[in-house]
């Protein structure tokens, strides 16, 4: 099956898919090829059986959809089979994003004594950045006077502008002092890029130290940024642009977790029962 995997890899790279997507597709197809064993001739029943097996093994809907996407790509783009698969993607469960309150965000930040780590978490929340976007920021991407951050080749291979909070300008100025334009804003101790795992660990340690009884991850900072902007009355289209969402429906999920309007609604139990 190696020639097939090689063909898929080359085609994905030619189409400028991200390295992460290429790796995921190849891993999925390798499992699928092992399942079919013989020549991977298109057989809808085989695909259904494979996906059902993965579901029984506990694969989430998102993972099942990744398997199906990679299989469809192989047959349509590599094998050039135009036959309609008549296979629908697995329905994803609706989950509300975990959002931290403004006070909780401040509490987390206040637990961090290390200047660089404190700024990293503050900037991730204040600009609504993904962990990968924070660690890839370079000095040349910071526009202090204009109040913007230039996010290069983010998710979906798209560039965008993000906000640089006024409160952080002085701290950012300190950290970039004396550095070259191509250096990373948050370098590791050895120099070079900080790892995703290290950045996530910084948040996790601060979160645990804060004593907040909630579930949260580094990405909760981004969810909180979007929700708080919405609560402040910022138009959903502007939030979509700042987050870099291609589809407005992705941004609309934050309308389900805003607390500002809900706090003014009284339960009928509170209003009428004594």
Residue 86, φ and ψ in degrees, nearest 5: 55, 35
Long-range residue pairs from 28-36, CB within 8 A, at least 24 positions apart, any chain: 28/66, 28/67, 28/70, 28/71, 29/4, 29/5, 29/70, 29/71, 29/74, 30/1, 30/5, 31/67, 32/67, 32/70, 32/71, 33/1, 33/4, 33/5
Nearest to 125 by CA among 242, 246, 237: 242
Catalytic residue status for 256:
no
- 25 given a catalytic annotation: no
- Catalytic pick among 160, 222, 223, 228: 222
Catalytic residue among 54, 118, 130, 228: 130
254 is catalytic: yes
Taking the C-alpha atoms of residue 168 and residue 125, their distance in angstroms, rounded to an integer, is 11
Q: Token pair for residue 210?
A: 């804060």
Residue 32 annotated in active site: no
Q: Which of 72, 155, 169, 253 is catalytic?
A: 155
130 is an active site residue: yes
Please report the sign of the dihedral spanned by the C-alpha atoms of residue 165, residue 167, residue 172, residue 177: positive
User: Which ranges in the chain belong to alpha helices (H)?
Assistant: 2-14, 19-36, 44-56, 61-73, 102-110, 115-127, 131-135, 169-176, 196-210, 220-231, 236-243, 248-252, 268-272
Q: In whole angstroms, what is the distance from residue 13 CA to residue 18 CA? A: 8
First-residue to last-residue Cα distance in the chain: 72
Contact 258, 230 (CB under 8 A): yes
From 138, 152, 219, 253, active-site residue: 219
Which of the residues are catalytic?
130, 155, 219, 222, 245, 254
């Amino acid at each position: 099956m190696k020639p097939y995997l090689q063909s898929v890899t080359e085609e994905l790279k030619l189409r400028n898919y991200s390295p992460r997507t290429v790796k995921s597709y190849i891993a999925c197809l390798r499992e699928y090829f092992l399942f079919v064993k013989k020549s991977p001739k298109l057989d809808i029943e085989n695909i259904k059986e494979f996906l059902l097996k993965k579901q029984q093994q506990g694969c989430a809907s998102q993972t099942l959809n990744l398997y199906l996407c990679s299989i469809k790509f192989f047959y349509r783009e590599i094998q050039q089979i135009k036959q309609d698969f008549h296979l629908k993607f697995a329905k994803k469960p609706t989950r509300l994003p975990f959002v931290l309150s403004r006070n909780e965000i401040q509490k987390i930040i206040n637990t961090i004594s290390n200047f660089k780590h404190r700024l990293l978490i503050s900037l991730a929340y204040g600009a609504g950045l993904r962990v990968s976007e924070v660690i890839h920021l370079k000095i040349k991407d910071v526009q202090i006077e204009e109040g913007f951050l230039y996010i290069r080749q983010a998710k979906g291979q798209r560039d965008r502008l993000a906000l640089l909070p006024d409160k952080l300008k002085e701290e950012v100025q300190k950290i970039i002092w004396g550095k070259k334009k191509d250096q990373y804003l948050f370098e590791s101790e050895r120099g070079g890029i900080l790892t995703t795992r290290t950045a996530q660990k910084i948040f996790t340690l601060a979160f645990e130290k804060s004593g907040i009884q909630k579930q949260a991850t580094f990405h909760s900072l981004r969810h909180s940024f979007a929700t708080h902007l919405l609560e402040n009355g910022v138009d959903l289209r502007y939030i979509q642009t700042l987050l870099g969402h291609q589809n407005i429906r992705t941004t609309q999920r934050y309308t389900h977790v805003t607390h500002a309007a809900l706090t003014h609604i009284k339960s009928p139990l509170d209003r009428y029962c004594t």
